[in-house]
Amino acid sequence: MRALPTPRQLRYLVTVAETLHFGQAADRCNVTQSTLSAGIRELETLLGVTLIERQTRRRVVVTPVGQEIVARAARLLADTEALLDVAAAQSRPLSGLLRLGVIPTIGPYLLPGVLPVLRRRYPALRLYLREDLTDGLLESLAAGRLDAALLATPFDLRGMVSETLGEEEVVVALPADHPLAAREAVREGDLTDETLLMLEDGHCLRDHALAACHLSRGRGNERFQATSLTMLTQMVAAGLGLTLLPRMAVAREVLPGGGVVVRDLADSRPARTLVLVWRPGAARAADFHLLAEALAAAHAARGGPAAGAGADAKAGAGG
């Protein structure tokens, strides 16, 4: 039989590729730097190729063949971990480590209500959370660095399996002394001449909110200046303009006496659909359905419509 790379060697390689730093990679792997370096050298000798170029003590470069092997190694490690997951799932649902990605316009608002429930219901579950934009989470999910991700559509899910958790509308946040604050609801036409503060490129909520209001990208009065909903709300409080917030964020971001009020959009429609996604054929699909059920219940408890919650999972084709 041919000698094969060990999971430990593959883990060393993937971690170095992620950090581009031997010291940081060694810390992540809980080994000394000399042990990690020796493992990489053994792997390079076994494969007969150079995977990592050590240009200086601080600069590390992954070679082209190394990049291909890193991608394959990440998938192999994910499949190896799935062996343990399959065995564990037979005896205890939602147990062990589960790496969940979440976008920043959902995580801080939905997860605090569901995490205590998950701890009580599934005490053996170890939930590792990673916050990132949608593109980054889908990339990590495809590479096996995440098990599932909590996202919002419409968005191209790149063939991932998805389960719908519910829908959500957006509301208008405006300064408390703004003329529109005297109205019970704001119409789409009222926003035409207003300075609209939005999240910067990469946040799918921006496109969701604009589409819900039938507004196009790149309008002259649109300003992309913030990286978080907290910053957007503070800019509104400073009188710099109006913004659109997901309804779930209002309780946390719009505090009494903070100089910001929210108004519904007249005749609005849901801006986005919350979904849990995972790789096709994932060994822990049953666990992900249980997690989706808990997330959908938490969303409904916040007042969000649970349209499609509990529906059959399907491959995401885009949006």
Residues 6+ apart with CB under 8 A from 16: 22, 25, 36, 40, 52, 60, 62
The whole-angstrom separation of Cα 310 and Cα 307 is: 9
Per-residue pLDDT averaged across 25-40, rounded? 92
Same domain, residue pair 176 and 255: yes
Domain for residue 293, yes or no? yes
CATH of the domain at 183: 3.40.190.10
| 125-131, strands of its sheet edge to edge | 125-131, 96-102, 148-153, 272-278, 161-168, 314-315
pLDDT digit string, tens, across residues 149-172 = 999 998 889 899 999 999 999 899
Same domain, residue pair 174 and 255: yes
Domain for residue 82, yes or no? no
Domain for residue 79, yes or no? no
The answer to whether 170 and 103 have CB atoms below 8 angstroms apart is no
Domain for residue 288, yes or no? yes
Per-residue pLDDT averaged across 136-154, rounded? 92
Domain for residue 1, yes or no? no
The answer to whether 286 and 89 have CB atoms below 8 angstroms apart is yes
Residue 307 has pLDDT above 70, yes or no: no
pLDDT at 60: 85
β-pairing verdict for 242-246 and 222-226:
unpaired
pLDDT at 204: 84
Taken in order 63, 67, 70, 76, is the CA torsion positive or negative?
Answer: negative
Residue 297 has pLDDT above 70, yes or no: yes
pLDDT at 178: 93
pLDDT tier at 308 (50, 70, 90 boundaries)? very low
Same domain, residue pair 182 and 232: yes
pLDDT at 269: 75
Looking at 224, 241, 265, the residue that finishes a domain is 265
Looking at 228, 244, 265, the residue that finishes a domain is 265
Domain for residue 136, yes or no? yes
pLDDT at 245: 92
The answer to whether 138 and 275 have CB atoms below 8 angstroms apart is no
Residue in 201, 174, 169 with CA at minimum distance from that of residue 265: 169
Same domain, residue pair 57 and 192: no
CATH of the domain at 59: 1.10.10.10
Same domain, residue pair 96 and 145: yes
Task: Provide the residue range defining the domain that includes 215.
Answer: 170-265
Per-residue pLDDT averaged across 12-41, rounded? 91
Count of domains for the chain: 3
Torsion of CA 145, 151, 154, 157, to 10 degrees: 20
Same domain, residue pair 261 and 283: no
What average pLDDT does the structure give for the chain?
A: 85
Same domain, residue pair 175 and 154: no
For 248, other C-beta atoms within 10 Å of its C-beta total 23
Residue 104 has pLDDT above 80, yes or no: yes
